[in-house]
Amino acid sequence: MKRRDVIRCREKAWKMLQKAHIAITAEEKQNMEIADCGFNDIENLGLQIVVYENNQRYCAKELVLFPNQFFPEHSHPRIDEWNEGKQETFRCRWGKANLYVEGEPSRYPKAQIPDEYRRYLTVWKEISLMPGDQYTLLPSTKHWFQAGNEGCIVSEFSSASVDEADVFTDPRVQRIPVIEED
Amino acid sequence: MKRRDVIRCREKAWKMLQKAHIAITAEEKQNMEIADCGFNDIENLGLQIVVYENNQRYCAKELVLFPNQFFPEHSHPRIDEWNEGKQETFRCRWGKANLYVEGEPSRYPKAQIPDEYRRYLTVWKEISLMPGDQYTLLPSTKHWFQAGNEGCIVSEFSSASVDEADVFTDPRVQRIPVIEED
């Protein structure tokens, strides 16, 4: 993504955080991660991330999704002998999120995903999260999610986050963002 | 504490959460922990706790403090060979919190603590937390905190929480709440 697009997305996510009465510092705004997964199609696919804390034991983030933005299917595999992979709890703070996990596929899932991304989605058990709702995912389980029409803000509480270890179903995904200077 | 006082405190804390636009479920409201530490003096000393998640790896809570309510000095010692004690991050979400930690004592600390509790406070380095500010405490370090005039709401992100292992400076503290039926 180009630097100017990253800055635009940070501004847009920050306005959503303000609307939801969630305070972040100027430094957190400036360091907000815009994860476009290398597709350069951020309005449809991606995620805005404020990392509050990530240490060897636990991690806390605020995830901001634009209206109908979706984040592709992935899992958090075992890292080594001591770390069985990231376990995470998603708690909806504002807006509405649809989370898709392993299990009996939902008959009428609400997700609307462009075909070029949809073909890499293999888990379809829908968990709808409204403000105050949460769901915990065990390590090594596949999942993906999409915001509702107004977007959403989701707190993520987890064990240590090692993003570069994430395994995506779509082989095109580049999880670690690269910013091109304008 | 008597059941009716517990219910009153839950209601009061819930109203503060609403004011701060933080959604919790009816079940979370009903299970809110009112930690009066056995003093039955909740307006001065204690803490209202919503536990979002507590598993073997991480924990997330919302802490609600009434105006000027304080929580006494304690630390989280090593539990066993595998758990070196709880590490925790306090992030202020609403209102103002003053956190006191080990280190150079502040010259003019803002805390106002009744004498009968004050004599058990030994760490006086003040960290003022406004919304968006946070502070991380390593295991086995002493700390205590007090809300500002309007109360405060603080997110706690941490490793696993084992409250019964907490060590308080004041030997009178009973950390695990006992509810007396009316």
Please answer whether residues B161 and B175 qualify as being in contact, where contact means their C-beta atoms are separated by less than 8 angstroms: no
Give the span between the Cα atoms of B40 and B30, in whole angstroms.
20
Q: What is the dihedral of CA A6, A135, A23, A53, to 10 degrees?
A: -70
* Interface contact flag, A58 B23, Cβ < 8 Å: no
Question: How do residues B135-173 score in pLDDT, each as one tens digit?
Answer: 999 999 999 999 999 999 999 999 999 989 999 999 999
From chain B, pick out residues whose CB is under 8 angstroms from the CB of A25: 132-133
Q: Across the interface, which of A58, A134, A155 has its CB nearest the CB of B158?
A: A58
Question: How do residues A131-150 score in pLDDT, each as one tens digit?
Answer: 999 999 999 999 999 999 99
From chain B, pick out residues whose CB is under 8 angstroms from the CB of A28: 132
From chain B, pick out residues whose CB is under 8 angstroms from the CB of A134: 52-53
Per-window interface: A 124-143 vs B, CB < 8 A: 130-134, 136
Distance from CA of A92 to the nearest CA of B (A): 9
Q: Supply the ipTM of this predicted assembly.
A: 0.96
- Cβ–Cβ contact A9 with B under 8 A: no
Res. A125: pLDDT tops 90: yes
Per-window interface: B 51-110 vs A, CB < 8 A: 52-53, 55, 57-60, 87, 89, 91-94
Res. A71: pLDDT tops 90: yes
Burial label for B99, CB within 10 Å (0-12, 13-18, 19+), is buried
- Cβ–Cβ contact B24 with A under 8 A: yes
**From A2-11, A119-128, A169-178, B45-54, the region with the lowest mean pLDDT:** A169-178
From chain B, pick out residues whose CB is under 8 angstroms from the CB of A130: 23
What's the confidence (pLDDT) of residue A9?
Answer: 98
Res. A34: pLDDT tops 90: yes
Please answer whether residues B99 and B75 qualify as being in contact, where contact means their C-beta atoms are separated by less than 8 angstroms: no
User: pTM, whole model, 2 decimals?
Assistant: 0.97
Q: How is chain B classified by DSSP, letter by letter?
A: -BHHHHHHHHHHHHHHHHHTT----HHHHHT-EEE-TTSS-TTTB-EEEEEEEE-SS-EEEEEEE-TT-EEEEEE----SSS-----EEEEEEEEEEEEEESSSPPSS------HHHHTT----EEEEE-TT-EEEE-TT--EEEEEEEEEEEEEEEES---GGG-EESSTT---S--PBP-
Average pLDDT value for chain B: 96
Residue A1 confidence class, pLDDT cut points 50, 70, 90: very high
Residue A182 confidence class, pLDDT cut points 50, 70, 90: confident
What is the distance, to the nearest Å, from the Cα of residue A85 to the centroid of all Cα atoms in its chain? Answer: 17
What's the confidence (pLDDT) of residue A11?
Answer: 98
Res. B177: pLDDT tops 90: no
* Interface contact flag, B20 A24, Cβ < 8 Å: no
